[in-house]
Structure 1
Amino acid sequence: MHIRPRSDDDLRQLVEVLRRTHDQDGYPAHWPNDPASWLTPPGHLTAWTAWSSGTAVGHVGLAAPDRDAASLVTRLVVHPDHRGRGIADALLATAEAAAGTACAVPALRLDVTEETPGAWRLYERRGWRLTHRAPADWAKPDGTVPTMRWYEKRLW
């Protein structure tokens, strides 16, 4: 497995990774009209693609929608067939290292649903601090409102 900066050419394969993640895990909760654009949220700074045997298997991005606040880790996804191999950990480490030199505020933030313990356990193992929990400001397709966990990690 290797990680490199995401290129536009990666997006077709990354949409397939996202589709498999959505179908298996319900992330994202609502399938986007334009999944390639969804991988590039407002305030997008940069993103990386994880590759294994010539196939895209994961993605993570950084965004700074507010220049005066900590940047966000966004769109962290790993193909379900490639989990348990350290890909999410490596992608997160890549984003953290890049943010340490590229972001104006010395911290990163992210949010995750309470119902995804594998994800939030990864963040906690990597030194992220839970800042608060609260109901989401959105609902899943079945109408339920998930509980969100917000995390922060100081970079220096």
Structure 2
Amino acid sequence: MAVRDRRPGDLDALAAALVEVHRVDGYPVEGVADPHAWLTPRGTLHAWVATVDEAVVGHALAMTAQPEIAAVDAWVQHGGDIATTVVGARLFVAPAGRGRRLGTRLARTLTDWATHHALDIVGDVMTKDTTAVAIYERLGWHRLGTTMHDTGRGTTVPAYLYASREP
């Protein structure tokens, strides 16, 4: 088991893993019509993968903070500085990699990377994703509030807003 920087050659395996995660967990709530695009959003700063026996089974990334992202807006309202903030996103572990604390390792890698670069991290987690909620809270992230996350399909789902440190 390992967590390492994402490579371009990882995207096909990640796309397949993401489709499986969506089938099993309904994540991401927006769907997976174009998994490659979802895995490579505009503003990506750094991305990591989790592997088991060299097979890619998990993912996380950091992307630039932009206004009108609920977690960014909540952070700024709590006194955070958007200029030193990134968004943690796209964290998932496929069923084949579960039970090995890879989600925690990915979140910790993201957190350590941001700390090394003197950045704060914010993000949202759907309230239904109790494993992800537990990971962030176990790592000491602070809940900033809640929001209704737009699925892009005319519906919303409740989400918690988090920051990697107390505001």
Range of TM-score over shorter length: 0.7 to 0.9
More deviation in 2-11 or 28-37?
28-37
Deviation digits for residues 65-119 of structure 1 (CA, Å, limit 9, x no counterpart):
436252011100101132121100111111111111235xx31101011111111
Q: Distance in 2 between matches of 1:61 and 1:145?
A: 23
Give the secondary-structure state (helix, strand or coil) at the position aligned to 1:89. Answer: helix
**Runs of 4+ residues over 4 Å off in structure 1:** none
Which structure 2 segments of 5+ residues have no match? 67-81
The correspondence for 1:146, drawn from 143, 157, 162, is 157
Q: Distance in 1 between matches of 2:151 and 2:133?
A: 20
Matched, 1:97 2:112: yes
Matched, 1:127 2:140: yes
> Partner residue of 2:30?
30
Report the CA distance shift for 1:62/1:139 in structure 2 as closer, same or farther (over 3 A). Answer: closer
Which structure 1 segments of 5+ residues have no match? none
After superposition, the CA RMSD in angstroms is 1.9
Give matches, 1:29-108, under 5 Å: 29-66=29-66, 68=83, 70-102=85-117, 106-108=119-121
Higher helix share: 2
What percent of counterpart residues are identical? 32
Question: How many matched pairs?
Answer: 151
Measure how far apart 1:140 and its partner are: 7.4
Report the CA distance shift for 1:54/1:139 in structure 2 as closer, same or farther (over 3 A). Answer: closer
Q: Distance in 2 between matches of 1:132 and 1:55?
A: 36
Question: TM-score, length-normalised on structure 2?
Answer: 0.83
